[in-house]
Chains A and B, each alone.
Chain A
Amino acid sequence: MIELDGLTKVFRDRVAVDDLTVRVEPGRVTGFLGPNGSGKTTTMRCVLGLARPTAGTATVLGVPYRRLDRPLLRVGALVDPRARHPGRTAHAHLLALARSNGLPGRRVAEVVDLVGLEAVAYDRVGGFSLGMGQRLGIAAALLGDPEVLLLDEPVNGLDPEGIRWVRELLRGLAAEGRTVLVSSHLMSEMEDTADHLVVLGRGRLLADVPMAELLGASAAVRVRSPRAPLLATALRTAGARVQPEPDGALRVEGLDPRAVGDVAFAAGVPVHELTRVVPSLEAAYLALTGGEVEFRAGSPR
Chain B
Amino acid sequence: MTADLLRSAWTRLGSVRSTWWCTAVYVVVAAGAGWLAAAGTTSSTRADVAVAVALTGFGFGQLVLVVLGVLAVSAEFGTGSAVAALVAVPRRTAWLAATTAVVAAWAALLTAVLAVACAVAARVLVAVPGGVSLTDPAVLRTLGLQVAGAVLVTVLAVGLGALLRSTAGGVGLGMALVFVLPPVCALAGGRWGTAASQALPALRAGEDAFLAAATPWPVGLAVMAAWALTAWGLGALLLERRDV
A residues 95-143 near B (Cβ < 8 Å) are 95-97, 99-102, 140
Which residue in B17, B76, B84 is a CB contact (below 8 Å) of A97?
A: B84
Q: With contacts A50-B243, A71-B90 known, is A96 near B8, CB below 8 A?
A: yes
A residues 64-100 near B (Cβ < 8 Å) are 65-72, 77, 79-80, 82-89, 92-93, 95-97, 99-100
Residues of B contacting A97 in the complex (Cβ-Cβ under 8 angstroms): 8, 84-85, 88
**A68–B90 CA distance with the chains assembled, in angstroms:** 8
Tell me if A164 counts as interface (CB < 8 A to partner B): no
Are the C-beta atoms of A50 and B79 separated by less than 8 Å?
no
Which residue in A48, A82, A87, A100 is a CB contact (below 8 Å) of B5?
A: A100
Tell me if B135 counts as interface (CB < 8 A to partner A): no
Tell me if B140 counts as interface (CB < 8 A to partner A): no
**A130–B49 CA distance with the chains assembled, in angstroms:** 58
Tell me if A52 counts as interface (CB < 8 A to partner B): yes
Q: Which residue of A lies closest to B241 (CB)?
A: A52
Residues of B contacting A69 in the complex (Cβ-Cβ under 8 angstroms): 1
| B85 CB to nearest chain A CB (Å) | 7
Tell me if A216 counts as interface (CB < 8 A to partner B): no
Q: With contacts A82-B79, A99-B11 known, is A88 near B85, CB below 8 A?
A: no
Tell me if B191 counts as interface (CB < 8 A to partner A): no
Which residue in A85, A99, A102 is a CB contact (below 8 Å) of B16?
A: A85
Q: Which residue of A lies closest to B86 (CB)?
A: A50
Are the C-beta atoms of B11 and A101 separated by less than 8 Å?
no
**A100–B84 CA distance with the chains assembled, in angstroms:** 11
* Given A95-B11, A97-B8; 13 other pairs, CB 8 A cutoff: A50-B83, A50-B243, A66-B90, A66-B91, A83-B83, A84-B79, A85-B75, A85-B79, A86-B79, A88-B16, A97-B85, A97-B88, A101-B89
